[in-house]
Amino acid sequence: MQQTLVLVKPDGVKKNLIGEIIARFERRGLKVSALKLVKITEEQAKYHYAEHEGKPFFGELVEFITSGPVAAMVISGENAIKAVRGQMGATNPLDSVPGSIRGDYALTIGENIVHGSDSEESAAREIKNFFKAEEIY
Ligand code: RTP
Ligand code: MG
């Protein structure tokens, strides 16, 4: 059993894709263990994307992820981290296969619809940035 933090990013929320994205995970057999709509603060965004601090795209990344509400959720299941990353598709939507979320709904790397934790360590850190223990079922 693993838990992973998924964000439907501001572009995904604007395109009305929250339900579609959750449905894909649920159809796969993964569970929604926590869920909320939230506007990320700058501080929270910088913590979330700390590994990218100093990179040329960091400023734009923080600006984008704080530009509107995101749907934050904890998705749980066997090998949930890898399963979700597979369903998301490659970081650059142009490299994402059709049938993946980014391959179906995105065209540019800066607005790629969805986030998913990339390791158990990232998942633990990222989940704590969005949810209290009692908010996770
Ligand atoms: P995410 O963290 O959002 O789930 O995406 P990811 O793991 O697939 O990709 P990551 O390397 O963690 O990058 C985080 C986000 O930064 C933007 N990015 N822009 N311009 C660029 O070269 C570039 N590289 C990354 C993307 O929006 C990516 O989702
Ligand atoms: Mg990442």
- Confidence bin at 98 (pLDDT 50/70/90): very high
- Confidence bin at 91 (pLDDT 50/70/90): very high
Which tokens in the block code for residue 116?
């998913």
Mean pLDDT of 64-90: 98
Active site residue 115: yes
What does the mean pLDDT of the chain come to? 98
Q: Rounded to the nearest whole angstrom, what is the distance from the C-alpha of residue 49 to the centroid of ligand 2?
A: 8
Q: So what's the pLDDT on residue 18?
A: 98
Q: So what's the pLDDT on residue 132?
A: 98
What CA–CA distance (Å, rounded) separates 83 from 79?
6
* Number of residues that this document lists for the chain: 137
What CA–CA distance (Å, rounded) separates 96 from 109?
11
- In this structure, which residue's CA is closest to atom 20 in ligand 1? 57
Q: Rounded to the nearest whole angstrom, what is the distance from the C-alpha of residue 27 to the centroid of ligand 2?
A: 24
Mean pLDDT of 15-23: 98
Ligand nearest to the CA of 109: 1
Q: Rounded to the nearest whole angstrom, what is the distance from the C-alpha of residue 134 to the centroid of ligand 2?
A: 26
Mean pLDDT of 113-125: 98
46 is in an annotated binding site: no
ipTM of the complex: 0.96
Q: Which domains does the chain have, with CATH numbers?
A: 2-135 (3.30.70.141)
Q: Tens of pLDDT along 31-66?
A: 999 999 999 999 999 999 999 999 999 999 999 999
Ligand nearest to the CA of 114: 1
- Which is the catalytic residue, given 30, 76, 115, 123? 115
What CA–CA distance (Å, rounded) separates 51 from 49?
6
